[in-house]
Amino acid sequence: MFTTALAQRENTQLGELPLDLFAAIQSLKKELNAVILAHYYQEPDIQDIADFIGDSLQLAKAAEKTNADAIVFAGVHFMAETAKILNPDKLVLLPDLDAGCSLADSCPADEFAAFKAAHPNHLVVSYINCSADIKAMSDIICTSSNAVKIVQQIPKEQPIIFAPDRNLGRYVMEQTGRDLLLWQGSCIVHETFSEKKIVQLKIAHPEAEAIAHPECESSVLRHASFIGSTAALLKYCQSSPTKEFIVATEPGIIHQMQKLAPDKHFIPAPPMNNCACNECPFMRLNTLEKLYWAMKNRTPEITMSEDIRLAALRPMQRMLDMSV
């Protein structure tokens, strides 16, 4: 993982926490001329203090556009890394450097390099949930909100490697009719939902609609009346006349769903075991306290070599150009 003992030590109790953390963070924001970007899976307090909340594509676009000197990224490592790829001269802070991603970890750079070398005539489309090293080996990046649109723009005769999420890859194959060579990675959170419990919930709540993120397995996706990125799921709940939803993605998003559609009822899709494994253990490492310490101490900071950054920027830029 990404922890350096020093960064972690610096980011724990170096002094007393202020009583009003919200006010202290607002004042540090002015001091640093910082913007706080947060993903929908962050804890409610972080979502409430953020300047911008979004899905991966919206967050990448917000990072690309910001005039702030510092970006405080309340999300996971690959998201903060993406902000750094787009903003080499800005300070990019991640409250907890251990906030990784099981999907990104399922695609180690050396193994992927060998896989790519074995298929030299393939174009590489990589889901943004991957490390900067994988991005640097890719031709185009995509997110869950534009993966179908990106693949549709690639000439039909061009063979494609799709990495690292096999579930999103399979969904894109179904939507586009294209045959993709899939890297067999997955997300521990989106693979935990129980098809049986979702069916039981649908029986108990006959008026409810099931909605799902495309990182879920096809056994779950087949019960969903709408499939989309976190931002798309949120938009769908607001615009649909339905009053009750079974939500098959990380339940952090329910905070925004409830805020934007207060008259509706949201039921988190249950995991297979009686655990909280539908919560992303990486996203949940960030806390308001760690966000404060990161801003106060200006660490942990995201850094990367300029060679990797430039190589990763090219496919990122291609995605941004292809998804306007």
| Interacting residue with ligand SF4 among 189, 248, 291, 294 (CB under 6 A) | 189
DSSP string, 94-132: -S-TT---HHHHTS-HHHHHHHHHT-TT-EEEEESSS-H
Q: How far is the CB of 170 from ligand SF4 (least distance, A)?
A: 15
User: Among ligand 13P, ligand SF4, none, what does residue 134 contact (CB within 5–8 Å per kind)?
Assistant: none
Nearer to ligand 13P, 84 or 213 (CB): 213
Residues 189, 181: contact at Cβ < 8 Å?
Answer: no
User: Among ligand 13P, ligand SF4, none, what does residue 105 contact (CB within 5–8 Å per kind)?
Assistant: none
Nearer to ligand SF4, 187 or 319 (CB): 187
Q: Which of residues 157-216 bind ligand 13P (CB under 6 A)?
A: 187, 213, 215
CA pair distance 2, 36, nearest whole angstrom: 21
| Contact status: 101 vs ligand SF4 (CB under 6 A) | yes
CA-CA distances (angstroms) from residue 19 to 182, 282, 317? 50, 26, 42
Residues in Cβ contact with 323 at an 8 Å cutoff, skipping those fewer than 6 apart: 57, 146, 149, 150
| Contact status: 141 vs ligand SF4 (CB under 6 A) | no
Nearer to ligand SF4, 209 or 215 (CB): 215
Angle at 39 between CA 249 and CA 217, to 5 degrees: 25
Beta bridge pairs of residue 245: 209, 266
Residues in Cβ contact with 178 at an 8 Å cutoff, skipping those fewer than 6 apart: 151, 156, 160, 172
Q: How far is the CB of 145 from ligand 13P (least distance, A)?
A: 6
Nearer to ligand SF4, 75 or 300 (CB): 75
Residue type, 144: S
Choose the stretch contacting ligand SF4; rule: CB under 6 A; options: 60-68, 86-94, 276-284, 315-323: 276-284
Nearer to ligand SF4, 28 or 56 (CB): 56
Write out the two tokens for 68: 């702030």
Q: Which of residues 38-77 bind ligand 13P (CB under 6 A)?
A: 55-56
CA-CA distances (angstroms) from residue 127 to 46, 75, 167, 176? 25, 16, 11, 16
Which residues contact ligand 13P (rule: CB under 6 A)? 55-56, 129, 143-144, 187, 213, 215, 229-230
Residues that bind ligand SF4 (CB under 6 A): 76, 101-103, 129, 187-190, 215, 250, 280, 282-283
